[in-house]
Structure 1
Amino acid sequence: MSDGSYYLISACKDGNPMFRDGQTGDWIGTFIGHKGAVWSARLSKDASKAVTGSADFTAKVWDTFAGNEVHSFAHDHIVRCTDFSSDGSRIVTGGHEKKLRIFDLHRPDLAPLEAFGHDGTIKTIIWDDSRHVIMSAGDDKLIRVWDLRTFKEVKTLDTQAPISSMTLSPDGELITAAAGRTAFFYDASSYELVKSYNTQHDVSSVSLHPNHSKFVVGSGTDLWVRIHDYETGKELEVYKGHHGPIHTVSYSPDGELYATGSEDGTIRLWQTSPGTAYGLWQPGAEVAKTGTSTPDTATESS
């Protein structure tokens, strides 16, 4: 946001996505309406809207100020991932149907645009308006790039393993992807592989610090949160706190903290530079926890 504040939204298997203050974790509201696990939750750029994808075969759009459901889009199977266009006027969805759909929020009754090509469940999507593309990835081990003007596939990137998560760095320069035991970093303009690092554990989610100095990794088979140096891949820090697999990780827009979401039903906020007065570490602030399984300023669960 223009005033420096930001927000956090979490998806959860209990079907109740939650909206929170991103710096303190303070609860703002819960979106009630899904009838199944919520696998994905994303905020529009101005945080005025949220979109969620669920096992109840719907994607729902919410007004974050009023907390009301604005739109509900029916699908034929589980919706695993969602994202907004940069102006918040459209959403894209993917999931067990193995196809992408684009819905126009100004004309919700209009039939969605559709794109086919994936051979497995689509688990993660990025809408990149600056390059007029959508990127999607999942169980078929490929990152597919789609031209928004034609909604045709124009590029594929092979990771050799199912892809559980994918994000665009805050400056829009790099695509990060988690596949198997590897963290991948691609140039977002050329789609060339810049770096990849193999780890000792399955990688469920990767988030790059805004200054590109380090990245945080979560694992579905390990309870530890691990920080790596971006230039060398060296493990710098290891933290214990969760009691279940870590499904998602994300640095805050200012890089001062990162959030981790786990199967143990908690979101944990970690300070990037311990000892400084910031967010919930300011005098009088309290740590906020949730009954959710996946947090982020914009993310999906695996």
Structure 2
Amino acid sequence: MGDQEESDVAATMGFSGFGKKARTFDLEAMFEQTRRTAIERSRKALEASEQENLKPKEALLPQQVGSHSVLCSSVTKKVSSSSGSSNSGSSESDESTDEETIDPPMPPRQGKPVSAEDPDELIGPPLPPGYKDSDDDDDDEDLQEEEENPVKRIPDSHEITLQHGSKTVSALGLDPSGARLVTGGYDYDVKFWDFAGMDASLQAFRSLQPCECHQIKTLQYSSTGDVILVVAGSSQAKVLDRDGFQVMECVKGDQYMVDMAKTKGHTSMLHNGCWHPKIKEEFLTCSNDGTVRTWDVNSEKGHKNVFKPRSMQGKRVIPTACTYSRDGKLIAAGCQDGSIQLWDRNVNVHTKFHCRQAHAPGTDTSCLAFSYCGTVLATRGGDDTLKTWDMRNFKKPLNVVSGLTSFFPMADCCFSPDDKLIVTGTSVKKDSGSGKLLFFERETFQKVYEIEVTDASVVRCLWHPKLNQIMVGTGNGLAKVYYDPVKSQRGAKLCVVKTKRKDKQAETLTQDYIITPHALPMFREPRQRSTRKQLEKDRLDPLKSHKPEPPVAGPGRGGRVGTHGGTLSSFIVKNIALDKTDDSNPREAILRHAKDAEENPYWVAPAYSVTQPNTVFAEVESDEDEPHDEPEWKKRKI
């Protein structure tokens, strides 16, 4: 814009200019200057490192070095002084630029110890050789120790006790998120516990009896946690929602059918059941009728598939435990003849794996559990043994532990979340010791740890992988939860920190009582009565206690019927019954009114006043004067 144009604009708009002119930059010159500066600084740093290597190597302690800014400034001065002769021809502007363009120090590199011997790695204050942070070392040692010793991962430092009832807790179920626990027992009750909603009083928020008078044998949440499978001593399993309302009930089969595959459901008592790990609508049950059946929640008409375990002779055998594999492709069943049989989920004709003499014949195998890796199967037998099996070689067990007493047909075993331990419980007779929770190493089957739970049998055990907490059901009606404040998550930690809620007292209006010991009797207030005496007094008051009114005596009144009814006949009957006159001698009864009739004639006497003014009565003859020949009909009847 020329001077003429500027003057025209100023004359038109009334001001002389638009402010300062914009600064212009030569980008090529700036880039060239930056390149030269970088080359010069690299050369100076190389010379400084060479001089440093020539000096005797001494370790610098952190206390001998100041802050990052002091260190950087000292290094800058040293570099500028050492390169003074070689850069004598440089301008003062270059020196000022070098001093001003000092970048902030880079953070120290992770994963490698920093020492004064490596000047290239010396970013920040130098540290002595072999120097490490003590906190990091402790954490690394703890992690390494836990990896080497899985016992350190057992969360048993703290525990809480949930009072289910007075009888055996035979079923435990925990939803996948770990928010709710459900317990069932021999008292037919199913109780719901909410860890986030409970306080330190540890009370269940719901209790119900879904299967009437049948003992609860299995409770399990589905893979999504929205429904619960209930297996009791009846022939029909039930599915409940999270609040305890029934969603589905399995149909009962025809008990007169010979081929159990032709019926739509079980015909006798159930033993066990579980959900499919992948398909949230499918579950599995086994029964005393010799079948293992799969079901669909959305179809109540009948089972989806039926599996029939067979003995070595091809006869029917009763399955007492059943489960799915971790991937859901296999179905396993433990039978009363001691065998363990596995089928492909889609092929129910022949078994895919089987071991005929896995446990002692005639005993009830109480639990089958697959490891998290899916290659190992653990079985808890009724012959007081615990065994593990390799799915790739199912002919003989990997490890065996005997002498584990079990009195219950639902004794549990489970794997730890890291797959390195196997947990099971032992049973004891009454007043014969304490039931224990035993931990065995999976590879060697050495007993590495045990917990004395209570003076009753340990029936159920459950190790939740997300919460890292252990739930135990006992034979005296208790459900215990073991946890560690550091290693465990949520669960029992949520409710133990909450204080107990105070019981709500009945709101009563009381008058303030002022004691005046020296007041005159006329100003003295009556002594305050106790609540019990006041209640007894109110009980005697018919208005306050709503005492029912007594029956009406005599004829009814006020719309109420009398004692003997309100009809005429009832009134006459009542008067006849209450009449005390003796009418056995009518003559005497009439003569009682003779005097009143003579003094005040009203009915009969006025009629005979003219014709018969004098009343004539019949004369009574004595028995001596009465002739004996008088006919019978003339004789007076007395």
Q: Same fold (TM over 0.5)?
A: yes
Q: Does residue 472 of structure 2 align to residue 225 of structure 1? A: no
- Name the structure 1 match of 2:229: 9
How many Å apart are 1:25 and its aligned residue?
Answer: 3.7
Q: Which residue number corresponds to residue 146 of structure 1?
A: 389
Aligned partner of 2:457 in structure 1 is 202
Contact 2:467 2:491 in 1 (8 A): no
Q: Indicate which of 250, 263, 266 corresponds to 1:34.
A: 266
Question: Structure 1 residue 79: deviation in Å?
Answer: 1.5
Query: Residues 414 and 422 of structure 2 are in contact (CA less than 8 Å); yes or no, is this contact kept in structure 1?
Result: yes
**Of 53, 56, 60, which residue of structure 1 is paired with 2:286?**
53
**Residues 90-133 of structure 1: CA distance to partner in whole angstroms, max 9, x if unpaired?**
20001312110011122222345320231132111012361512
| C-alpha separation in 1, matches of 2:418 and 2:236 | 31
The residue type paired with residue 325 of structure 2 is S
Question: Between Structure 1 and Structure 2, whose CA radius of gyration is higher?
Answer: 2
In 2 relative to 1, CA 38–125 (structure 1 residues): closer, same or farther, beyond 3 Å? same
Segments of structure 1 that go 5 or more residues without pairing to the other structure are 232-253, 258-270, 277-302
In structure 1, how many angstroms separate the alpha carbons of the residues matched to 2:497 and 2:235? 36
Alpha-carbon distance, 1:209 to partner = 4.3
Is the strand fraction higher in 1 or 2? 1
Q: In structure 2, which of residues 358, 362, 384 is the aligned counterpart of residue 117 of structure 1?
A: 358
SS of equivalent residue, structure 2 residue 236: coil
Where do residues 144-223 of structure 1 align in structure 2 (5 Å cutoff)? 144-152=387-395, 153-162=397-406, 164-169=411-416, 172-180=419-427, 181-188=435-442, 191-198=445-452, 199-210=454-465, 214-220=469-475, 222-223=476-477
Amino acid at match of 1:55: N
Deviations 1:13-67 (A, max 9, x none): 012112233x444432122221111110111112332111111111111123434
Between the aligned partners of 1:38 and 1:100, the Cα distance in structure 2 is 18
8 Å contact kept, 1:213–1:229? yes
With 141-150 and 168-177 compared, the bigger mean Cα shift is at 168-177
Distance 1:256 1:65, change over 3 A: farther
Determine if contact 2:399/2:444 at 8 Å carries over to the other structure. Answer: no
Deviation at 1:170? 5.1
2:308 aligned to which of 63, 74, 83 = 74
Q: What TM-score results when the alignment is normalised by the length of structure 1?
A: 0.68
Change (3 A) 1:175 1:26: farther
Q: Percent identity?
A: 18
How many Å separate the matches in 1 of 2:321 and 2:413?
11
Structure with more relative contact order (C-alpha pairs < 8 Å, separation 6 or more): 1
Contact 1:49 1:88 in 2 (8 A): no
CA contact (8 A) 2:326 2:374 kept: no
C-alpha distance in 2 between matches for 1:158 and 1:16: 35
Q: Secondary structure at the match of 2:224?
A: coil
Q: Tell me which amino acid in the other structure corresponds to 1:54.
A: S
C-alpha contact 2:366 2:382 (8 A) present in aligned 1? yes
Q: Write out per-residue CA displacement over residues 202-243 of structure 1, whole angstroms, 9 at most, x where no aligned residue.
A: 1111223446764332223x1233334579xxxxxxxxxxxx
Identify the residue that residue 93 of structure 1 maps to in structure 2: 333
- Tell me the distance in 2 between the aligned counterparts of 1:173 and 1:272: 28
Answer yes or no: is the 8 Å Cα contact 1:61–1:69 preserved in 2: yes
> 1:172 deviation in Å?
4.3
Task: Give 1:175 deviation, angstroms.
Answer: 2.6
Give the aligned residue type for 1:9.
Answer: L
The answer as to whether partners of 1:212 and 1:230 remain within 8 angstroms in 2 is no
2:495 corresponds to = 273
Distance in 2 between residues matched to 1:11 and 1:141, nearest whole Å: 24
Which piece of structure 1 moves more, 205-214 or 24-33? 205-214
Describe the SS at the equivalent of 1:14: coil
Shift of 1:159: 4.6
Evaluate the alpha carbon distance shift between residue 17 and residue 256 of structure 1 in structure 2; reply closer, same or farther with a 3 A threshold.
farther
Structural RMSD (CA): 3.1
More helix by share: 2
- CA contact 1:210–1:255 (8 Å) conserved in 2: no
SS at structure 1 position matched to 2:307: strand
Aligned to 1:128: 371
Q: What secondary structure sits across from 1:11 in the alignment?
A: strand
CA contact (8 A) 1:121 1:139 kept: yes
Q: Is the 8 A contact 1:95 1:123 kept in 2?
A: no
